[in-house]
Amino acid sequence: MNATYIGASVLKGIFDLNIELLSLYDQGGTPDTKTEDYNARVKDVYCSFMKLGDTFKALNGMVAGMKKLYKNQEVTAMSRLDPLTRETDFHKKGPEICLAS
C-alpha cells in the first residue's frame, strides 16, 4: 500500500488489528482465554482500536474507497472485540481503561 495516500497507515493499522484479534480466538471460534496474558492482550488491542478510531476521525482528505474499507474493517473489529472483552476483568469499563495505562 502506498503510504503517500492520506489514511494509508490507519488502514494498515485496522488490518493488523483484525489479524491480532483473530489470534485471540481458538480453532473453534471462541475466545481463547487460556492464552498467556489474555486480559493484557485484549486490553492492548482494545486501546489500539480506540486510538485508531480517534486517528481516523481526525483525518481529512482520505479517499472515499479507503474510508469505506476502513469503516467495514472497523465493524468487523468491533464484532470480534465484543466477545473477547466479555471474558476480561475490565468488561463494561469502557475507554477509560486505556487512560489508566
Q: Which amino acid is at 98?
A: C
Is the pTM of the predicted complex or chain greater than 0.75?
A: yes
Tens-digit pLDDT profile for the chain (101 aa)?
A: 445 788 999 999 999 999 999 999 999 999 999 988 999 999 999 999 999 999 999 998 889 999 999 999 999 999 999 999 999 877 777 777 888 65
Specify the residue for cell string 486480559: 39
